[in-house]
Amino acid sequence: MNMMKLEVRADGVAVLWIDVPGRTMNVLSTELCAELDEVLARIKSDAAIRGLVVASAKNAFVAGFDLLEVLKLAAQGLSLRQAAALSAAISLPFRHLETCGKPVAAAIQGPALGGGFELALACHWRVMADDPKTIVGLPEVRVGLLPGAGGTQRLPRMIGVAKALDLLLDGSHVGARRALELRLVDELAPREQIVERAAAWVRERGVAIQPWDQKGFRIPGGAGQLEPAIHALFAGRVGRVAKATLRNFPAPPAILAAVADGSVLPIDKALAVESKYFATLLTHPVARNLTRTMFVGKGEADKLARRPPNVPKAVVTRVGVLGAGMMGSGIAYCAARAGMTVVLVDSTLDQAEKGKDYSRRLLAKEVERGASTREAADAVLERIVTSVGYEQLRGCELVIEAVFEDRKIKAEVTRAAEAAMLKSGVFASNTSTLPITGLAENSSRPDRFIGLHFFSPVDRMGLVEVIVGKRTSKATIAHALDFVGQLRKTPIVVNDSRGFYTSRVFGFYCHEGMRLLEEGVAPALIENAGRMAGMPVGPLAVSDEVSIELLWKVIHQGEVDLGDKYVKPAGYEVVRRFVHELDRGGRKFGRGFYDYPEGGRKRLWAGLAKLYPVRAEQPSLEEVKDRLLYVQAMETVRCLDEGVLTHPADGDLGSILGWGFPTWTGGTLSLVETVGLPRFVKECDRLAKQHGDRYRPTRKLRKLAADGKTLYGA
């Protein structure tokens, strides 16, 4: 045995210490479950053992199934049968545990999540450490799965169908007090006493049979569609799930079905039903997508996976922020919260103070909510120094400029700041549209010039797009990433390009919406298709939000910079017309594709019907959804081909965290893999023929598709 040790005590209570080697936390695997089965055989046959305590030798009980293993399995292209067998390989040993004929208690400390909590549910008694670090829950739904080791069956049998569905569908975890209230656990104890208390239960009160294995057992609150309350409950949940998932996520409906079907069956049959539903999810691309991008990819990015090696770690203690507008004030707040001293510079002290007011407001709210103390909030505020001149930048290891989007002003502030800041420091621009290599020409040390593209609102958006200019050095990339790490934000690293990665691809969403409008597709269909595909807002609404005027500025900048080489985006004419003929620049102007009546809800502008008469024949909802998503995916493929993106994971993560590309897809590139490369290429060829070159697959993509390869594999 490699992952657990059995300690048999003099009083006949055995303690099974789980201790997965090489891991800071215990994770569940098929290997661990196989060992559990082995040790159970001994426990059953050894007359000296009267009962068992399952405990962890680490700070965490069991943190869940190993997601890397999930990813590996998903990548192997398991059959349904293989996937169901895998679920059974975990589920059956747990069943053997609860039917071993001896009382079993779990001693839970630290996270007991997913398969880890399912292990605890298979014990006859649960003692939970009463401290903030100890949590229990079944988060599988968040990675597109369901608890496949008894969770969907034991939980309803313990706490009733309604409460179980709440936990299963939401996937959130609960702390000790709440867990006891919900009867997810039986007893709380100080962490250092949990094993002894569990042992005492085994010795003095141990019962070796689960309620659901006893004759006449009934699920609390009832089960089965013939019970009117249960029927109504499921009817309500089915509607709610359909509305929340827009049919893009398969796990919530599968959870409903597993509970509905399983709760009327004897437990062994119910577990088999659960395994069947689990298998449909494990073989579904959405599980792979969510696991790969939102957990593995994000986890790696947070650990600064793209940081060039062999560069000593930098710690920013003093950072300059130039421009105390919307972005600068948000960046200042985040840096001060992360413990840095911030010098916030604007053209007047009044402006700089206004920028600091932003932090004052946010911190006051935190104190009100109890998320921070007055003293801590004051300390954060004290770290923000407002200034007009540049002398205060002395000693800054990093300066970020967030002044107006104007090359001349940016050039001036770059020179002035570089003269004052640390000679070895890094200068970063938060520009959203101006190529970094060009801006670096104003720098006296372009190797230490980089783009740090934050998203609005900075305090809530976790992504930072790090933009590498032609002359940016490795050490500068490393230091910029160290800073993003200090802010606890998630970086992606991209090479310089017009619009970088996120703005460039996001623009295609807006423009495709406008092109559809121009083609005579009903505006409501366009907007609904965007939302039904999983985008947070429709393309016309979001164009209004970022402002049609800004879209025009980006076009104009491109025309000025590139001349004849400029390729007009799909919505060019619509943007031009709205800004120059109609004076409808977007939400901040009070009118765009929508009207914004004072005090009322926005509504699509009635004038659209006259400008762009709705064609008699409309495309299907699916066709419009595909167009809106595929055009973004295809442009991301181009970014990968051009080397703007160096890793598919950055493209995926950036699309989801940057502009809200739907999570079920796993991101713009995972979408291509979800559709399947050959089919995606074929569809895009068709769309290119009908609608233009923006859909045309690249040579590299064609080759990957023909060779049966994937983007991640390549």
Contacts with ligand NAI, residue ranges (CB under 6 A): 322-328, 345-347, 351, 402-405, 409, 412-413, 430-432, 453-454, 456
DSSP characters over 239-300? HHHHHHHTT--SHHHHHHHHHHHHTTS-HHHHHHHHHHHHHHHHTSHHHHHIIIIIIIIHHH
From the DSSP assignment, how many helices (H) and strands (E) are in the chain? 30, 19
* Rounded-to-integer distance, Cα 555 and Cα 330, Å: 27
Q: DSSP character for 390?
A: S
Chain position whose Cβ is nearest to ligand NAI: 325
Angle between helices 539-546 and 548-562 (to 10 degrees): 80
Q: How far is the CB of 402 from ligand NAI (least distance, A)?
A: 4
Q: Which of 367/409 has CB closer to ligand NAI?
A: 409
**Diameter of the chain by CA atoms?**
90
Residues 411/417/418/423 CA torsion (nearest 10 deg): -160
Q: For residue 494, give the amino acid letter.
A: V
Q: Which of 454/578 has CB closer to ligand NAI?
A: 454
* Rounded-to-integer distance, Cα 625 and Cα 638, Å: 20
Q: Which of 211/462 has CB closer to ligand NAI?
A: 462
Q: How far is the CB of 232 from ligand NAI (least distance, A)?
A: 46
Q: Which of 412/573 has CB closer to ligand NAI?
A: 412
Q: How far is the CB of 417 from ligand NAI (least distance, A)?
A: 9
Burial class (CB in 10 A: 0-12, 13-18, 19+), 156: buried
Q: Which of 217/404 has CB closer to ligand NAI?
A: 404
Q: Which of 19/405 has CB closer to ligand NAI?
A: 405
CA-based radius of gyration for the chain: 29
**What sign for the dihedral angle of Cα 124, 128, 134, 138?**
positive
* Rounded-to-integer distance, Cα 150 and Cα 87, Å: 9
Q: How far is the CB of 449 from ligand NAI (least distance, A)?
A: 15
Which residue intervals of 99-150 are DSSP H helices? 115-121
CB 482 within 8 A of CB 316: yes
Q: Which of 42/361 has CB closer to ligand NAI?
A: 361
Q: For residue 368, give the amino acid letter.
A: E
Q: Which of 428/671 has CB closer to ligand NAI?
A: 428
Q: Which of 384/403 has CB closer to ligand NAI?
A: 403
Q: How far is the CB of 645 from ligand NAI (least distance, A)?
A: 19
Q: Which of 17/589 has CB closer to ligand NAI?
A: 589
Q: How far is the CB of 478 from ligand NAI (least distance, A)?
A: 23
Q: For residue 403, give the amino acid letter.
A: V
Q: For residue 657, give the amino acid letter.
A: L
Q: Which of 184/403 has CB closer to ligand NAI?
A: 403
End-to-end CA, the chain? 38
Q: Which of 82/547 has CB closer to ligand NAI?
A: 547
Q: Which of 283/432 has CB closer to ligand NAI?
A: 432
Q: How far is the CB of 329 from ligand NAI (least distance, A)?
A: 8
Q: How far is the CB of 184 from ligand NAI (least distance, A)?
A: 43
Residues 433/437/442/448 CA torsion (nearest 10 deg): 110
CB 186 within 8 A of CB 126: yes
Q: How far is the CB of 429 from ligand NAI (least distance, A)?
A: 7
Residues with Cβ within 8 Å of 598's Cβ and at least 6 positions away in sequence, in order, are none
DSSP-based three-state secondary structure for 351: helix
Q: How far is the CB of 635 from ligand NAI (least distance, A)?
A: 19
Q: How far is the CB of 320 from ligand NAI (least distance, A)?
A: 11
* Rounded-to-integer distance, Cα 333 and Cα 350, Å: 17
Burial class (CB in 10 A: 0-12, 13-18, 19+), 547: middle
Q: Tell me phi and psi for residue 13, to 5 degrees.
A: -85, 130
Three-state secondary structure of 20-78 = CCCCCCCCECHHHHHHHHHHHHHHHHCCCCCEEEEEECCCCCECCECHHHHHHHHHCCC
